[in-house]
Every structure is written in structure tokens, then in C-alpha cells.
Amino acid sequence: MKTVLRIFGIIIILISLLTCSMSIYRAQLDKDKLAEEQTELAAVKDNIDKLKKEAENMTGESKKQIDEQIAGFEQELENIPSETAYLIVQVLLSTLLILSLVFAVFLFRANLKLSSQLFYVAVILTIVAFLVSPDIKRGEYGGMESRTLALLSGIPVAIGGLFAILVAKRTTSK
């Protein structure tokens, strides 16, 4: 039974290594894209400032419509994540990647106490990575959202931890 648990554990660990690596890469791509678009964002902010100055001279219904448009643009600008958010996500996902490697070791060198503690750490890191990940809706043909990728990266790590715990329980029971 331990051999079967180890085989499934290795498969899950390989999946977690793949998903964590892909998510880290994706966060880096998003961070690079954000850095490239900073000049465009600066131009948009300048246009918003010009619209505000024009709206000061207006009255009536047209002023109300422009003020609503300005508020909508400012709201969209506030929703753009910073590069720091992507860096934090990358650090959390890298920690999950390292945890999956540790769980791979624990599949063959059983340590029940440490694997159960690290399992809880993996679950907490997955939740934190989910909450910290930018919530940007992808386009109709775009990729997955960052939050979905954080979950898809953390769940296999936690399952790999469960397999390490089960192997440790089988080892200590005999």
C-alpha cells in the first residue's frame, strides 16, 4: 500500500511542480506586460486630468456625463494591480513549489509531525496566494485568471502533502 501511495504522491508532486512553475511564469509575464504599459497608463492619466479641467468649465447634463466617465476611468485605473502584487504572488508560489519538493522527500523519508505541519502551511499559503492574486478578468479568448491559477497550483501541493502524511502513518503503524 505504501508503494501505491508513493506512486500517486509522485504523480501529484509532478503535477504541482508543473502548475507552480507555470503560474510563476504567468505572473512574470503579467508583471512584464504591466511594466510595458506604464507609459500608456501615464498618458491615460494625463487625458483624465485634461478632461477634469474641461469639465470644470461645463455646466448641466454634459458636465454630469463627463464626470461619470472620469469616475469610471479612475475606477478602472485603481483596479490595475501593481508590480508588487505580482512579486508577492511569485514568492508565495515559489514557496509552494519548494514545499512540493519537500513533500516528495517525505514520501520516502517519512516524518509525520513535520509533514502534517507543512500540510497546514501549504493550505494557508494556497489561500493567501488566492487572496493576493490580482482579480483581472481575462478576455473571451484569454487565459485563466490569476486567482484560478493560484488555486490550481496550491491544491496539488496540499494533496501531495496528504500523500506524505498517509505514507508516514503507514510507516509508523508497522
> Tell me: the pLDDT tens digits for 107-128?
999 889 999 999 999 999 999 9
Instruction: Decide if 95 is inside a domain.
Output: yes
> Tell me: the pLDDT tens digits for 37-52?
877 877 777 877 877 7
Instruction: Decide if 152 is inside a domain.
Output: yes
Instruction: Decide if 59 is inside a domain.
Output: no
Range of the domain at 152: 2-36+82-173
Instruction: Decide if 142 is inside a domain.
Output: yes
Rg (CA), the chain: 23
> Tell me: the pLDDT tens digits for 140-174?
445 778 888 899 999 999 999 999 999 999 888 76
Query: pTM for this structure?
Result: 0.80
Instruction: Decide if 118 is inside a domain.
Output: yes
Residue-level length of the chain: 174
Instruction: Decide if 89 is inside a domain.
Output: yes
Cβ proximity of 24 and 90 under 8 Å? yes
Identify residue 42 by its one-letter amino acid code. Answer: A
C-alpha cell at 60: 448641466
User: How many domains does one find in the chain?
Assistant: 1
Spatial separation of the C-alpha atoms in residues 114 and 148, rounded to whole Å:
28
